[in-house]
Amino acid sequence: MIGTDINKDFCHWLAHIKMSRLVILVFAMLIFIPLIMHFYLSKVERSSISISSNSHFDISEDLNFIQDFDVKDGVEELIRIRGSVLSELRDMEQKRQKLLVEIQGYTKNIEELKQEIFHLQTNLNRLKISVEQAQVAQKEAVQQNTPDLALPKKLTANFFPEKLPSIPKHLSRNCKMFSCFDHSRCSLTSGFPVYLYDPDQHPVMNYGWDVDGFLKTTLKQTLGYNPHLTSKPEEACVYLVLVGEALRDTGDVSDNVGNQLNLPPLDSTALKRLPFWGGDGRNHVLLNLARRDLTAGSGDIFSNVDTGRAILVQSTFMWHQFRPGFDLIVSPVLGPPGGDVWQECPFMVPSRRKYLLTFQGEMKTNHKSPSTPNYAPDDSDLAKETQELDKFVLEHLKDLQKTNTSDKFLFEFECVLASDDNVNAAPHDWALCGTDSSRRSVLKESTYALIFAPGSPDLITTTLLQARIYEALRSAAIPVVLGGDQVTLAYNEVIQWRRVAIFLPKARITELHFLLRAIPDEDVLLFRRQGRLVWEKYLASVQSTLDTIVAVLRNRLNIPALPAETFTAVSVFNDTFQPIQVPVAVDTEQEESLGPLEPPYNSPAYRRNYSLPLTQGAEMWNDWGDPFRLYAALPMDPVLPSDAKFIGSGRGFRPIGQGSGGAGKEFSESLGGNNPREQFTVLLLTYEREQVLIDSIARLRGLPYLNSVVVVWNSPRPPNAELRWPDIGIPVHVIKAARNSLNNRFLPLDILQTEAILSVDDDAHLRHDEILFGFRVWREHRSRIVGFPGRYHALDVNTKNTWLYNSNYSCELSMVLTGAAFLHRHYLHLYWKWLPQAIRDKVDEYMNCEDIAMNFLVSHVTRQPPVKVTSRWTFRCPGCPQSLSEDDTHFQERHKCINFFSQVFGYTPLLNTQYRADSILFKTRIPHDKQKCFKFI
């Protein structure tokens, strides 16, 4: 019992120790327990030995043993051990923390090394692709057996025309280009030089006749702007002679004894005295340009005059006189000398106007004969049949006006106020009624304008007929030529008049109303739009008339036009001001190989100098409306079929997987597509945001397919001399603008060497993969604007007839802003040389809207909407200085721009689209061993 009590006391003591030192024992349990047990067992062992040595022991000896146990020393020992353990634990924790930091550092280094390995691998892949592409290019260069074409080298004649005997008149009546034209003076590379005889120094009119002074002055002035004009007659291909419009300046002319002389206007002897006539007049062009005399039979001053082998150009021809393919029918020059003519044209919509069909004119039957020499009315049976048919036509038209129909007609067959131009109208021909302004007001309300063929069957064309065509097209009324099987219109060898006017034989007059009603609104607007193009380009002014005459003659000889003018790029740097260039790192955000890194490769240029007029001549004259200049390349250039790049025409092509196709890896190695390899140029406009500009240029480092960067410095203040320009591995040109204008964004600079132009704001932030994706999409839509920020024009629901500019998110758009968009270099030329000056003036006035103007232009030419790529809708530039678009008046000005541009164009050419381009395989689940075309697009 005593032993039991002792054990209980001992346990109570231990419990007391545990309770007071619970915290210490918890942390030190694993260490203390072995030590205590060892110590205790040692004591027990010694006690056992002591007890075994005595056969008897008593309780007092055990109590002494307990008392001998030094509790205090044990506790102190435990405390000492605890302190030692805690110290070791602190050391171990410090070591552990240190090890953790080291582990984190190593982990970070491992990740950095992995990233570096990845980037090095990506760069290595790029270099491998670049080497492979370079090897292919070298192989193509070795196998090349045809040289690259460049601008035509001028090769002209250097001698005056040799004097030859004149040819008989009956032979000259049968002149053709092969028989009466000297082609040896007009080589393919001559540039078609044209020489103009000064009408004051070389008059060819008889005494008493004179050439209209306005025409003389205007012709010399406007022809001076034509690039084909030369002052060296020995190198000329053709010689222009102004012979009309012939006007009497002194009344009747008498000889020395007072006898009146009835001299013709043109002096054939004076023609033969021209210094370069060469005896027979070959390569001479006689211009009889009517301006005021619009009588039906007027304008022919070449009758009974020996003109030799000269080409006749006028508005009036008889059937027996006109030599197809040699002589040229032109429109009278009724417009201003030149300049903008947009104010002359009304809106092309609505398609249906107040009147379905109108006519204002009067048939002359009892007036004196026209001023044409030796004119005699035709009394043949054919002429009588024509007169009877005309009477039938008149009766039907009068009945048509009385019919019960919702269509309105306006026919005036008796003039209340006759035009002053009709005093010499020929018998059985139509004369104009009223003044020019009164006729125009009626035509602006007419869907169709009725035009009669000449009353005499011997006439193929008259000045009056051509003038009526001019007036109808100017007012956007569709010409309906009654007797269209009899006449030939101006420049018929190049202009497709059946896309402009409706030709109907007189015998089918009863079908007229049915035919006009059968034409839907879409085709009405096609007729009207085509008529607007023809009128603006070829008829509207003296300048356009002369340029068209020269272009038609050049077109006959298949001589290419002269190259389009470019703006000379003047660098802001010079010998005393050189940029400081610093290297920049490759974009570390790039996580995929996007293409080879190549040296600059310029787009092939002027490859179709001589074949373009042959293969696409009709489109050049009737669709693009610009046969006057030669361009390095066109967005409408044809493409080869898919198999041609593998059979005989593979030079320059880079098919994906060498033709076998492939996913992301093979896709990134080659451009593929339907066109040969090419690069693009970044065209960047900036104004006094130097650091923003520098950052934008630096981000282009390592961008595949980038040819060069062209910065248009729009500020009058030069860049800071201390500015550090990034060296991105390709040329960066900083061009000084003549003045601060947003139109400078589209300067057709001579240093732009690629067809693809990336027009971008200096604060736009695009990833490399976005840029390259846009470039690849543009290559399949070369005639359109392809880019990122989409906008649209919305109807003003309050007015119902005006437009609003809208930048809200929308399921359809009509514009892609050129702050980040690809477009073809050709449109830069059109912006400056074709777009009406009034639009560029409006851009300067508002310092706004140049991007809207470019969208109007491209949609007008192509009749297609732009292409938006990826989900980008707007752009942000944190920390950038305030831009023009943040001004409160920005949107108000853009509303006004859209409506003003629509007025200039005559309609709103913008088209809506609900289409957006995203990458192939973007949302496609593909095998693990394949990769997408673009990872994030």
pLDDT single digits (tens) 489-536: 999 999 999 999 999 999 999 999 999 999 999 999 999 999 999 999
**Residues 233 and 195: beta-carbon distance below 8 Å:** yes
Res. 2: pLDDT tops 50: no
- Looking at residue 810, its amino acid is S
Angle 59-68/2-20 helices, nearest 10 degrees? 20
340/490 Cα distance (integer angstroms): 22
Query: CA 273, 278, 281, 287 torsion: positive or negative?
Result: negative
| Cα–Cα distance measured from residue 555 to residue 181, given in angstroms and rounded to the nearest whole number | 14
Element holding 7 (H helix, E strand): helix 2-20
pLDDT band at 633 (very low <50, low <70, confident <90, very high): very high
Q: Kindly state the tokens that stand for 653.
A: 């092509």
pLDDT of 40 reads 57
pLDDT value at residue 624: 84
Most confident of 89-98, 603-612, 861-870: 861-870
3-state secondary structure 694-761: HHHHHCCCCCCCEEEEEEEECCCCCCCCCCEEEECCCCEEEEECCCCCHHHHHCCECCCCCCEEEEEE
509 and 393 Cβ atoms separated by less than 8 Å = yes
* Percentage of the residues of the chain whose pLDDT score is greater than 90: 53
Helices then strands, counting H and E runs in the chain, come out as: 23, 30
Token readout for 143 is: 């196998």
* Averaged pLDDT for residues 355-361: 94
**How far, in Å, CA of 441 to CA of 431, rounded?**
18
> CB-based contacts of 69: which residues, under 8 Å, 6+ apart?
43
Question: Can you list the alpha helix ranges (DSSP code H) found in 427-586?
Answer: 436-443, 463-474, 512-517, 521-534, 542-556
> Quick one: how far is CA 124 from the chain centroid?
37
- Burial environment of residue 682 by CB neighbours within 10 A (0 to 12, 13 to 18, 19 or more): buried
Q: What pLDDT, on the 0 to 100 scale, is given for residue 800?
A: 79
- Look up residue 362 and give its amino acid: E
* Structure-model confidence comparison of residues 55 and 471, the more confident one: 471
In angstroms, rounded to a whole number, what is the distance separating the alpha carbons of residues 819 and 62?
103
Q: Is the predicted pLDDT of residue 572 greater than 90, yes or no? A: yes
Architecture of domain 587-602+679-792+809-888+907-917: Alpha-Beta Complex (3.90)
Whether residue 536 contacts residue 545, with contact meaning beta carbons closer than 8 Å, is answered with: no
The helix (run of H) or strand (run of E) holding residue 62 is helix 59-68
Is 335 a residue whose pLDDT tops 60? Answer: yes
Distance CA(911)–CA(278), nearest Å, equals: 56
Q: Do 773 and 937 touch, CB atoms closer than 8 A?
A: yes
Average pLDDT, the chain: 84
**426-447 burial, b if ≥16 CB within 10 A, otherwise e?**
bbbbbbbbbeeeebbebbbebb
Chain centre distance of CA 233:
39
**b/e per residue, 882-902, with b = 16+ CB within 10 A?**
ebeeeeeebeebbbbbbbbbb
Amino acid at 635: P
* Higher-pLDDT residue of 416, 275: 275
Are residues 765 and 877 in contact, defined by beta-carbon separation less than 8 angstroms?
yes
Question: Which of 290-299, 301-310, 419-428 tops mean pLDDT?
Answer: 301-310
Contacts of 211 (CB under 8 A, 6+ apart): 199, 203, 205, 242, 243, 244, 245, 246, 247
Q: What is the pLDDT of residue 130?
A: 80
pLDDT in tens, 9-55: 544 544 555 554 554 554 555 565 656 655 555 554 454 444 444 44
> What is residue 408's predicted lDDT score, i.e. its pLDDT?
94
Catalytic residue annotation: 851
HSE (CB half, 13 Å, CA atoms) of 345?
28
How far is Cα 702 from Cα 28, in angstroms, rounded to an integer?
63
CB-facing half-sphere around the CA of 641: CA atoms within 13 A: 4
In 3D space, the residue among 335, 333, 337, 355 whose CA is nearest the CA of residue 345 turns out to be 335
Closest of 622, 621, 652 to residue 639, by C-alpha: 652
Look at residue 169 in the predicted model and tell me its pLDDT.
82
The alpha carbon torsion through 579, 582, 585, 590 (nearest 10 deg) reads -10
What single-letter amino acid sits at 153?
Answer: K
CB neighbours (10 Å) of residue 644? 12
Range of 164-173, 174-183, 590-599 with top mean pLDDT? 174-183
Residue 840, token pair as written in the block = 């560029």
H or E, element range at 85:
helix 71-143
- Helix or strand or coil: residue 199? coil
Structural tokens at position 433:
């009624």
- Residue 778: pLDDT above 90? yes
Six token digits for residue 778:
């543009």
Lowest mean pLDDT among 47-56, 234-243, 669-678: 47-56
User: Does residue 108 register a pLDDT over 70?
Assistant: yes
Task: Decide: 300 and 372 in contact? Cβ < 8 Å.
Answer: yes
CATH 3.40.50 fits domain 342-540: yes
For residue 789 the two structure tokens come to: 């920020």
Please answer whether residues 814 and 913 qualify as being in contact, where contact means their C-beta atoms are separated by less than 8 angstroms. yes
What pLDDT does 56 receive? 45
How many Cα neighbours within 13 Å face the side chain of 885?
15
User: What confidence score (pLDDT) does residue 251 get?
Assistant: 46
* pLDDT mean over 153-171: 85
761: nearest Cα among 868, 683, 826: 683
Segment 613-631 shows an average pLDDT of 92
Task: State the amino acid at position 669 in one-letter form.
Answer: E
Which residues are CB-neighbours of 521 under 8 A, at least 6 positions away? 351, 352
User: Does 350 sit behind a cis peptide bond, omega within 30 degrees of 0 on the bond before it?
Assistant: yes
Side-chain-facing half-sphere of 620: CA atoms under 13 Å: 24
Q: Residue 622: which region, alpha, beta or left (left: phi > 0; alpha: psi -120 to 50)?
A: alpha
pLDDT reported for residue 266: 87
Cis check: omega of the bond before 245, within 30 degrees of 0: yes
Nearest to 277 by CA among 170, 164, 156: 164
**How many C-beta atoms surround the C-beta of residue 160 within 10 A?**
13
Backbone angles phi, psi at 750, to 5 degrees: -75, -10
399, burial (CB in 10 Å: exposed 0-12, middle 13-18, buried 19+): exposed
pLDDT digits (tens, 9 = 90+) for 45-102: 454 444 444 444 444 555 455 555 567 788 888 888 888 888 888 888 899 899 999 9
Phi, psi for 236 (deg, rounded to 5): -70, 145
Given a cut of 90, whether residue 854 has pLDDT beyond it is yes
pLDDT above 70 (res 427)? no
Residue whose structure tokens are 């739009």: 529
Quickly state the pLDDT bin for 116 (edges 50, 70, 90): confident
Contact 330, 489 (CB under 8 A): no
HEC per residue, 289-340: CCCCCCCCCCCCCCCCCCCCCCEEEECCEECCCCCCCCCEECCCCCCCCCCC
What is the C-alpha end-to-end distance of the chain, expressed in Å?
90
Cβ proximity of 264 and 305 under 8 Å: yes
Least confident span in 69-78, 283-292, 294-303 = 294-303
Q: How far apart are CA 395 and CA 852, in angstroms?
A: 52
**Burial letters for 258-287: b for 16+ Cβ neighbours within 10 Å, e otherwise?**
eeeeeebbbbbebbbebebbbebbbbbbbb
Domain boundaries, the chain: 2-52+62-141, 169-329, 342-540, 587-602+679-792+809-888+907-917
Query: Angle, to 10 degrees, between the axis of helix 837-846 and the axis of helix 850-862?
Result: 150
pLDDT value at residue 256: 44
CB 466 within 8 A of CB 437: no
